[in-house]
Amino acid sequence: MTYDYRCFFSKGGCGNQMNVKHPMAEDPEVLCPECSKVMERQLFPTKFKFHNNLFGGISGDEPTRFIGKI
């Protein structure tokens, strides 16, 4: 997978951004090529919608509810 990394100004970095390819299970320490500070992986919200009846909704528009004992 490809991940976005950023060197933050607030942590003394230069603001550089870059993409790094690595397996999901890995969390490598990525150093900025400009200032040699440790870069942080950027997390972005994702949008998805359930299209089945596993979570209580018929079309995914209804709120999740459980019927019976948990």
> Considering the entire predicted model, what is its pTM?
0.58
Q: What angle do CA 50, 24, 53 make, to 5 degrees?
A: 15
Average pLDDT over residues 18-31: 90
What pLDDT was estimated at residue 40?
A: 92
What pLDDT was estimated at residue 30?
A: 93
Residues 30-67 have pLDDT tens digits of 999 999 999 999 887 777 666 655 555 555 555 556 56
What pLDDT was estimated at residue 17?
A: 92
What ranges do the domains of the chain cover?
Answer: 2-41
**CA count, 13 A, side-chain hemisphere, 6:** 8
Q: What angle do CA 60, 62, 52 make, to 5 degrees?
A: 30
